[in-house]
């Protein structure tokens, strides 16, 4: 009995030549590749968290992202509330104290931002110095317009300016109604402005009976971004900076802006009709926080975000590569062991590790080029030892080049990535159908079987 007639020999030939088993094996290997791909995604997240921790550490010593709000003029008032006493069956007048807040009729802000980079290891943080001049005027406060029974305590009126981080803030002097005041740290209207500076002011002896003019200058440190709250009935903000990578963010975009090699300028004009809170109120309106706007100072493109986008195409890339090997194996009657598929798949995964590590030191484009060339060369040399055929090795290498270039284009695109990706997949499927059109899937044989 020859080896070919033995049950084991038949089974061995079936394992080598079964197209169904080959496809199932490739599918299983693709699923196995999901495990290292998940590790890659975890690695990207870990490196991004470490970067954020380094940036936060630098910012915590310099100054965090700043939001400037105010000034707000606050007038305490009291009124009497009738409270029924169950024991005595009588009503008692209880004095209640509240705060009435008044916003500027006109608010003009002129800001200059000087950015600077600080390093911690391989990570960079965008810091800045801000020089802001704020001026405008209030109407004389009318508490009875808010609450007719109120007894305004005008002598206790105070001005509050909100600032997220008070570290490294220079001394702030306020000119209000032709008098000078010095701001103190902390706020008395904590519910409205949790962090900031405040000072009592005199509104009773003002020479102007209709308008209370104010002006002051803020100088402080911050990082990442600078934001404002449009508290004026008419708010005008001008911003200049030598920084060249601004990202305007928040509820309002600039009315005009200009970005060139010398930096950027931007200005906003916002009316009280554009926001969802009144000029005078008690309590804390809900519309103040959502109306915040400003600018973020970017270092450049977030390399970790691009690495994340690249890793999302990892399983697709592995499938396309395995499909290429499958067709080369099927059309040219070459045996490729599952271990060889596995090694190629691991090489494709290592590409993403190289990409992450190199992009932390070079730009993403150079990192992608270096990592892809290294993996293409590695796989091509390995393929040459498998196929023993120079032309097949060259074709495989060219296919890998096209695949890497295709994925790179998709990563770079923002608005058209889905369109280009779907068209590319359509083209890949069309190519697979074209090259397999003449294959007789029911009579596949190896080269050895054909020779016999």
**pLDDT tens-digit map of 74-85:** 999 888 777 767
Mean pLDDT by 10 residues, the chain (452 residues): 50 59 78 85 84 80 87 89 70 77 94 86 83 93 82 90 89 90 89 91 76 92 91 94 87 91 92 90 87 84 77 82 79 77 87 88 87 90 82 85 84 72 78 72 52 46
Sign of the Cα pseudo-torsion (22, 28, 34, 37, in order):
negative
Which pLDDT value is given to residue 394?
87
Say if residues 207 and 167 touch (Cβ distance below 8 Å): no
Return residue ranges of the chain for CATH 2.60.40. Answer: 65-300
Query: What is the architecture of the domain spanning 65-300?
Result: Sandwich (2.60)
Query: In terms of Cα–Cα distance, which of 275, 268, 243, 238 is closest to 253?
Result: 268
Global pTM value? 0.71
- CA dihedral (281, 282, 287, 292) in degrees, to 10, reads 80
Which pLDDT value is given to residue 2?
47
CA separation (Å) from 274 to 124, 157, 159, 232, 251?
Answer: 37, 28, 24, 11, 10
């Amino acid at each position: 009995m020859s080896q070919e007639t033995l049950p084991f020999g038949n089974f061995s030939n079936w394992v080598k030549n079964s197209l169904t088993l080959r496809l199932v094996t490739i599918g299983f290997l693709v699923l196995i590749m999901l495990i290292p791909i998940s590790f890659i995604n975890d690695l990207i997240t870990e490196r991004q968290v470490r970067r954020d921790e380094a940036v936060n550490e630098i910012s915590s010593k310099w100054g965090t992202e700043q939001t400037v709000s105010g000034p707000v003029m606050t007038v305490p008032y009291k009124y009497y509330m009738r409270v029924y006493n169950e024991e005595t069956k009588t009503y008692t007048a209880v004095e209640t104290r509240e705060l009435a807040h008044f916003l500027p009729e006109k608010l003009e802000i002129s800001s200059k931002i000087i950015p600077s980079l600080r390093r911690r290891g391989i990570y960079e943080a965008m810091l800045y110095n801000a020089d802001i001049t704020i001026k405008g005027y209030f109407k004389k406060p009318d508490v009875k317009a808010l609450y007719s029974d109120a007894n305004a305590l005008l002598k206790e009126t105070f001005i509050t300016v909100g600032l997220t981080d008070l570290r490294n803030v220079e001394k702030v002097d306020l000119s209000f109604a032709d008098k000078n005041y010095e701001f103190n740290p902390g706020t008395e209207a904590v519910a409205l402005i949790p962090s900031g500076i405040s000072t009592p002011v005199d509104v009773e002896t003002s020479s102007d009976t209709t308008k209370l003019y104010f002006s002051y200058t803020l100088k402080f440190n911050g990082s990442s971004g600078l934001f404002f709250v449009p508290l004026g009935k008419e708010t005008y903000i001008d911003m200049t900076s030598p920084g060249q990578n601004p990202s305007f963010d928040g509820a309002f975009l600039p009315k005009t802006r200009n970005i060139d090699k010398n930096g950027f300028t931007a200005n906003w004009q916002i009316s009280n009709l554009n926001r969802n809170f009144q000029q005078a109120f008690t309590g804390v309106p809900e519309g103040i926080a959502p109306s915040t706007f400003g600018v973020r100072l970017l270092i450049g493109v977030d390399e970790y975000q691009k690495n994340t986008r690249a890793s999302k195409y990892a399983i697709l890339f592995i499938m396309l590569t395995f499909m290429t090997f499958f067709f080369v194996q099927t059309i040219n009657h070459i045996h490729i062991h599952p271990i060889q598929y596995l090694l190629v798949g691991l090489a494709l995964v290592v590409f993403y590790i190289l990409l992450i590590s190199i992009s932390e030191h070079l730009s993403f484009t150079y990192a992608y080029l270096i990592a892809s060339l290294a993996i293409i060369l590695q796989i091509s040399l390995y393929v040459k030892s498998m196929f023993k055929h120079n032309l097949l090795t060259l074709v495989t290498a060219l296919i890998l080049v096209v695949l890497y270039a295709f994925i790179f284009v998709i990563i770079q695109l923002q608005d058209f990535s889905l369109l280009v990706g779907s068209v590319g997949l359509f083209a890949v499927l069309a190519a697979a159908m074209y090259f397999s059109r003449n294959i007789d899937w029911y009579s596949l044989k190896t080269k050895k079987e054909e020779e016999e």
